Structure 1
Amino acid sequence: MQKITTHPFRLEKARYFSLLLQLYARRKWYLIVLIIGVLALYIPKASSDSVAGVFVLFGLLYFPLIIFRFYRWVYSKENANYFIESQLTVEDSFLYFKDINGNESKINTSSFVKVGQTEKEYLLYVSQNNFSYIPKAAFKTDEDREHFEKTLNITS
């Protein structure tokens, strides 16, 4: 039984906003391609055909509205708890999250429906759209990070 504790870490709002946009683009790539295709097809006809104009207007407004929705969510005061400093302790098959406000969460590693990673962080999904963020730089040693990956069955 090895117990590891990370350095304190914080999810920055700009990074979270960027992550949300990247994850959305990966999940909805087909919709993005479809809208771009519709725009390419209907822009030449938009001035003479009102139906084409509606499609073009929708296509032009869709992306800014999605970006605005994510921006508004990330920078909302109600979501400030996502961005407070936390620390992770890994023990047996449990992860213990503790933030600077004293809130603690104990999560069994089997509770994660999906574990993803980027070049800089791990994303531990407790549901399809809700993830816990752990930066790789938060681990004190490479051995600690490897133990974390082994505990969660993450393949590098």
Structure 2
Amino acid sequence: MGLAYGDTNLFDSGSMLTALEIQAAQMWWHVREGDTLYEEAFTKENKIMGILWANKRDSGLWFAPPEAKEMRLGIQLLPISPITENLFSDDGFAKEIVEWALPSLSREGVEEGWKGFVYALQGIYDKDGALEKIKSLKGFDDGNSLTNLLWWIHSRNLGSQ
């Protein structure tokens, strides 16, 4: 908005607030093995927080059990937009989250729309592999339509690794 109005103070303030929000989300919601914020047993089982309360944390979501890792990943990825790349700027961690969530996609009843979020995150480090998986989807979610997923994948600067 600061750029649109030519207001450098608004731009600087918005940039700082955005950076702080990204750091907070990465600290509280991205669960990295070896971090000391949460106990070791929790960090071994989880890569993304489900619900963070004032005095507890949950692996599940209010609408899904802890086993629905694709939903947990998806709810933290919504909406897929240009800022998503900054929120998930660590390619190695993005790969860990995808590898953590992929096995849950074979559960009975997993909806295609939730799979799309896992594949979108895969696009950060494996554009071609993610594109093939996205093309195989038979359904989409409002938060990750085919158009949005194709935009996301084709706007990645990285090639396959």
TM-score by length of 2: 0.29
Structure possessing the higher relative contact order (Cα contacts under 8 Å, 6 or more residues apart): 1
Point out the structure with the larger helix share.
2
Point out the structure with the larger strand share.
1
**Bigger CA radius of gyration:** 1
